[in-house]
Structure 1
């Protein structure tokens, strides 16, 4: 799990493996062995063991009560083809356009299945992000193409395209995504800083709370949760409280968009960015923190769990 001081050793090793060429070269054989082991172990067993390790108690799949328990139940028993489509950061664009309109999409600048195509002549001069469509590895932010080591970048994405996020997360929606590289416009505030995203957690098609993270790329990361009326919820989920945030002027529009995009799903996190008064869609996430992130109090986990109805899903 995460703590207030930053990332665990496992997360730091994962960052080295994913984000450095040397780390990938050294650790890839061990990673392949690890993934091979995961492929022959039943999903339920892996999830139950991981839950006990991260949460400190046994996962009850027969009668899940907490939000984290229900998220893990959904990982096993709520598997639909639509989940695969919208978890794909490239194909989800069609879904979003059909549901709420193209104007909410971050401009797509380039896409390819071949990492050799990542060359300055194929891309804008500045201000974009390169990422894959099939995992949660983050991306490469490019402020100026002349400042990027393109050889290392191509090697990095070559390795990423070979990974299948399903085998390390047991989140089924990633299993059959066709890997691709996407390049999007980099959203920034006027001072050039990266905007916070508004993570709208929707249960059974209704917004239940909005999560906002601050200083996401530092060890001082904080988080607030707000209810649908923009009241601060006295619950910490994995992070300490952050600075107070005023209700956005277009919050009601964001709420409507989130509920429209969530109507086909039991539980989903709909992410948005607010930049210069405009709303931009970020992504759809079906299992926040893979269902392994502790609330500061178990009561909050239980309280939110009671609001999520999973009975409409058949095992």
Structure 2
């Protein structure tokens, strides 16, 4: 098992309200997933997932994009897929609120990804992710992984 911390969690079915966003409907074939990477309780960068599609073989495809949190500039230089059909996703009107929530939720963790959807300019919390992509990060370049590693401060982490 790649993520053993899930092993002891009893499987459940959760039913949620269907979320649809009018603002990004023409930009993506699916909801845009805003993933705020936080290090030491501070938002660092925003990863976007859009145009999710289910393939015939059961796997799915998705466009992964990267934006700075402050200026909403692309950081595609840190992504491995140079042939992706990227779109310019506009800076969310509620970005500051989303970053504030991510800051609060990530407080006390050396690294966590805080995921959101934005529906009609309102952020909806998705999940906290501690081992994104089972820590494989195939979509990040080696340079990106080194940059993120430098942002993590483990001096206050107590080992058992």
Q: Decide which of 220, 232, 254 is 2:74's aligned counterpart.
A: 232
* C-alpha contact (below 8 Å) 1:238/1:294 kept by paired residues: no
User: Where in structure 2 are the equivalents of 1:1-315 lying within 5 Å?
Assistant: 168-172=1-5, 174-190=6-22, 194-218=30-54, 221-229=62-70, 230-233=72-75, 234-236=77-79, 240=84, 242-295=86-139, 297-315=141-159
Listed one character per residue, the Cα deviations across residues 241-273 of structure 1 (whole Å, up to 9, x for unaligned) are 621111111100000001111103111111100
Q: Which has the larger radius of gyration?
A: 1
Q: Which residue of 2 aligns with 1:158?
A: none
Partner of 1:215, secondary structure, is strand
Contact 1:201/1:210, CA 8 A, preserved across alignment: yes
Question: What is the CA–CA distance in structure 2 between the aligned matches of 1:228 and 1:268, rounded to whole Å?
Answer: 15
Instruction: Give the C-alpha shift of residue 313 in structure 1.
Output: 1.7
Normalising by structure 2, what TM-score? 0.80
Q: Which structure has greater helix proportion?
A: 1
Cα deviation, 1:44-97, whole Å, max 9, x if unaligned, reads: xxxxxxxxxxxxxxxxxxxxxxxxxxxxxxxxxxxxxxxxxxxxxxxxxxxxxx
CA contact (8 A) 2:102 2:114 kept: yes
Q: What whole-Å deviation, never above 9, does each CA across 1:264-290 have from its counterpart, x for those lacking one? A: 311111110011122111111101111
Structure 1: stretches of 5+ with no match in the other structure? 1-167
Specify the SS of the correspondent of 2:134.
helix
Contact 1:269 1:288 in 2 (8 A): yes
Query: Which ranges of structure 2 fall in alignment gaps of 5 or more residues?
Result: 55-59
SS across alignment from 2:8:
coil
SS at the partner of 1:189? coil
Please report how far the alpha carbon of residue 306 of structure 1 lies from its aligned counterpart in structure 2 after TM superposition: 0.7
- Contact preservation (8 Å) 1:200, 1:209: yes
2:30–2:52 CA contact under 8 A, matched in 1: no
- Cα distance change, pair 295–311 in 1 and its aligned pair in 2 (3 A): farther
Larger proportion of strand: 2
